[in-house]
Structure 1
Amino acid sequence: MTSAPLLFLHGYWHGAWCWSEVIARVTAAGRQAAAVDMAGHGLNARRPECLSRRPFDPDAVATEVSPVASVGLDEAAELLVSQIRQVGRGGPVTVVAHSMSGTVLTRAAQQAPELVGHMVYLTAFMPASDVPALAYIQSAENEGELVMPSLRADPAVIGALRFDLASEDAAYRQQLRQALFGDVDPVVADAALGLLSPDAPAGIALGATTLTRSGWGSIPRTYVTCAQDMAVRPAVQRRLIAEADAAFPDNPTSVVALNASHSPFLSVPDQVADIVTKLG
């Protein structure tokens, strides 16, 4: 294989499992590929006791400090750099980041640009220099998103963005599906909800990275927009691209458009696989 290996990094609450349909397709096309867990997620996740304690205490859901509250952008980027180095064996890797993992990719690429041959932001946060992802979450461009209204605790209190994934409230579960899996088959969406981690470390969204022309700004990048996204709204996606291109005009963002929700790896895996396999 002459093309660079592909490394897939999931977003908040997910794990390496979410890339299974895409991985099957890109490997069938002859590309070396691997999916990894982000810090505080997947096999690195820890569940708060309040969500499994019986009788259920809704007050504890809102107040119990998350077991992943200490995880920040520094730790997440350090882990990703080590994963990139392992997958690429020291050579360049094409990294595909979804949603919040975009801010982790940005930090990792700035720290070790020689290890990243191409950056792919799949409806992901691609923050400008010294701007945390939280600023985009709270921006006017993100109006109408459904993630923050679905949280069951104040992230400033518990150190995490917490979902009540065991809730029996049908309206709440439907809101979660619309936030993350709007165009995904309902049966698959319910299965995915069952695999999510309830807590996503707030510290990752609070971190910011100083970008340089010789670091992040030197690496080719592709942004895949998703027109139906209810977590990272299309206006935010456009702002991220515009800011990157304004900061590094000699290295403009290549843009690919999907008519998909926040989770195209589940709704249109063929299209996602086709996009990334065509990259070097």
Structure 2
Amino acid sequence: MRNLPTFVLVHGAFANSFSFAPLQARLALLGHRSAAVDLPGHGFEATFPTAYQAPQDLDALAVEPGNIKGVTLADNAARVIEVLERAKRNGPTVLVAHSRGGITATAVANARPELIDRLVYVSAWCPVDLPVGDYYAQPEMADVDAGAFAATLVGNPAELGLLRTNFRTADPASLAAFKRAFGADLTDDEFRTFLNTFQPDENLDVGTAADRAQAATWGRIPRTYVRLADDTSIPPAAQDRMIREADALTPDNPFDVRTLAGSHLRWLVHPEAAAGLLAALAATH
């Protein structure tokens, strides 16, 4: 019997392994192994201060310490490498990253390409020509509305040593802005359910120029980019720019490009099409 790969799943900002539960259920029913990683300071390592609970005390929340303070991109990469080393004992591995998780996936692929049989970015950051932070100043990101995060940011990131966002806000304008950014095509109940899986804290390290995709290591791994056609958080134009830059870096190993309909979060809430796509990729190994 052919040894099918293990999917190693890497979440995005403020998220955790819980995000992948519906997708993992679908993959399991298709006969596939998967391991969803909690990056350091995420999942059950996250901080949920008492002040974050209702009734909220935003003044206290603004100064409460968080476990994710000091976590670096190198720490994230080490966590994923540890999982990949164990998964590799069972056969091929497919590293799947969503959103900010793409930064970690790129760092892992730069460091340990031999652990990965295929890289899959799902509307994920794949920094090639620029550090991730600089892409936000590019024309492809001009229509992204950062207002929801700005309005719900709690505390001073420089003093806290982390980003803290109040996803439990009851402000209608902020909730509407979050929904437009992440899940405009979800029902209100689906969106609020997903929002309640988010954690308030995220680390500050998004990498530097040294963490961009490296042709000699990252560039030799077969890779797929799954575009999300209706994403307004990382718009298709930004996704396409990263695909072009990557293909220019390693023209002999271009992205295999696929497209799914839907917003930034829809593929996780309704994972049928994504599971089928990943299963088809697994059949190539």
Unaligned runs of 5+ in 1: none
Counterpart contact for 1:48–1:67, Cα < 8 Å: no
Superposition deviation, residue 92 in structure 1: 3.3
Distance of 1:248 and 1:237 partners within structure 2: 17
Q: Secondary structure at the match of 1:279?
A: helix
**Distance change >3 Å, CA 169–CA 14, structure 1 → 2:** same
- Measured against aligned partners, the alpha-carbon deviations of 1:220-268 in whole angstroms (never above 9, x if no partner) come to 1110111221211222111110110111111001111122100133343
Alignment pair present for 1:96 and 2:96: yes
TM-score with structure 2 length normalisation?
Answer: 0.88
Superposition deviation, residue 141 in structure 1: 1.4
Alignment pair present for 1:192 and 2:191: no
1:4 is aligned to 5
Unaligned runs of 5+ in 2: none
**Distance change >3 Å, CA 218–CA 169, structure 1 → 2:** same
Superposition deviation, residue 57 in structure 1: 3.4
Give the letter for the 2:144 counterpart: E
- Measured against aligned partners, the alpha-carbon deviations of 1:46-83 in whole angstroms (never above 9, x if no partner) come to 2356534967234x555666542311111100111001
**Distance change >3 Å, CA 162–CA 147, structure 1 → 2:** farther
Aligned length: 278
1:183 is aligned to 185
Superposition deviation, residue 2 in structure 1: 1.8
Distance of 2:231 and 2:160 partners within structure 1: 27
Distance of 2:28 and 2:36 partners within structure 1: 12
Superposition deviation, residue 90 in structure 1: 6.9
Counterpart contact for 2:96–2:121, Cα < 8 Å: yes
Superposition deviation, residue 100 in structure 1: 0.2
1:150 is aligned to 149
Q: 1:234 aligns with which of 233, 236, 240?
A: 236
What pairs with 1:160-175 in structure 2 (closer than 5 Å)? 160-175=162-177
What pairs with 1:119-268 in structure 2 (closer than 5 Å)? 119-128=119-128, 131-147=130-146, 149-151=148-150, 152-153=153-154, 155-204=157-206, 208-268=210-270
Counterpart contact for 2:45–2:67, Cα < 8 Å: no
Counterpart contact for 2:98–2:121, Cα < 8 Å: yes
2:78 is aligned to 78
Distance of 1:207 and 1:173 partners within structure 2: 34
Give the letter for the 2:16 counterpart: G
- Measured against aligned partners, the alpha-carbon deviations of 1:97-129 in whole angstroms (never above 9, x if no partner) come to 000000100000111111100000000001116
What pairs with 1:26-37 in structure 2 (closer than 5 Å)? 26-37=27-38
TM-score with structure 1 length normalisation?
Answer: 0.89
Distance of 2:167 and 2:123 partners within structure 1: 23
Counterpart contact for 2:109–2:116, Cα < 8 Å: yes
Distance of 1:242 and 1:190 partners within structure 2: 35
Distance of 2:53 and 2:87 partners within structure 1: 36
- Percentage identity across paired residues of the two chains: 30
> How big is the alpha-carbon RMSD for the aligned residues of Structure 1 and Structure 2?
2.3
Counterpart contact for 1:10–1:37, Cα < 8 Å: yes
